[in-house]
Structure 1
């Protein structure tokens, strides 16, 4: 994969949590499934809280006793690793592999309109999260709704081309 092109949609796939040891390794939180798959999506774009970005190619990831540990080119001591605390790891959306029909990346659902089977517009998907029991869509419109992303019980149809998700959900709930 090459460096992302200007204007390409970037996806946050992980976060760095500061130094691990004294040789420049960093603690890594991965949002990929499985977590070690984050190493496949390189180069990474490292984005700090000020919005500054740098491309990182050749990162190595290994399992530690309490999570993932990354070794980044050019980071050779604890101080340099500690400066990476809170940095997001992003990759272009095009780097993610295609999914089978009926499966979706959460990022592809964000921004879609949500209507119920009666045609009532609830708003748009702001984000999704997992509450431990199931995935949940947060829909923002005239008010915020949290709708379980459970097919076919609540989510009846996802039409990416039309930009719409149809749900079985009472408008008063």
Structure 2
């Protein structure tokens, strides 16, 4: 498990006075401010974030030291991370996406299907992107209780019951 979790991303400048458009990945979007200061992926830059008003697809936010549109635009695409110990504990049936990436995926009979490369969400529900032996393209497995009945972080594996033909 990672010691840092992605909690948001900077989508670029918002206006001309140094505000940024901030996308929150948190279940409670305004909670991203509770985890500040945030860091970049490498952990080399720190960002003190103050949320402003809600805007389309996120928040207008201020980042300490960012005073111009050009400085805000230069941060476009930066993913923001918080230390895991600042985040809330999750119920038994919920997981941080970072904890799922890299897990082995086996079917209900124990046959190796691959490893989780990413957790995607295109609006309707989460999908596990799984790469495995003999696959020319990754397989997208619905992340539902029916298709993924067991997740064992201790053993580092997921037991999947995929729809018929998905891994053929």
**If the length of structure 2 is used for normalisation, what is the TM-score?**
0.84
Q: Are the structure 2 counterparts of residues 52 and 39 from structure 1 closer, same or farther at C-alpha, using a change threshold of 3 Å?
A: closer
**SS class of match (2:40):** strand
Q: How does 1:3-152 map to 2 (within 5 A)?
A: 9-47=3-41, 53-57=44-48, 59-66=49-56, 67-142=58-133, 143=135, 144-151=138-145
Residues 163/20 of structure 1: CA separation in 2 closer, same or farther (3 Å cut): same
The runs of 5 or more residues in structure 2 that have no matched partner are none
Aligned length: 161
- Structure 1 unaligned blocks of 5 or more: 1-7
Provide the C-alpha distance between the structure 1 equivalents of 2:55 and 2:118, rounded to a whole number of angstroms: 31
SS in 2 for 1:155: coil
The 3-state SS of whatever aligns with 1:37 is: helix
The more displaced of 108-117 and 60-69 is 60-69
In structure 2, do the counterparts of structure 1 residues 168 and 36 end up closer, same or farther at CA, with 3 Å as the change threshold?
same
Offset at residue 29 of structure 1 (A)? 1.5
Runs of 4+ in 1 over 4 A off after TM superposition: none
- Give CA deviations for 1:64-89 in whole Å, capped at 9, x if unaligned: 44231111112122222222222221
CA distance in 1, matches of 2:124, 2:34: 28
Distance 2:70 2:140 in 1: 42
Is 1:158 aligned to residue 151 of structure 2?
yes
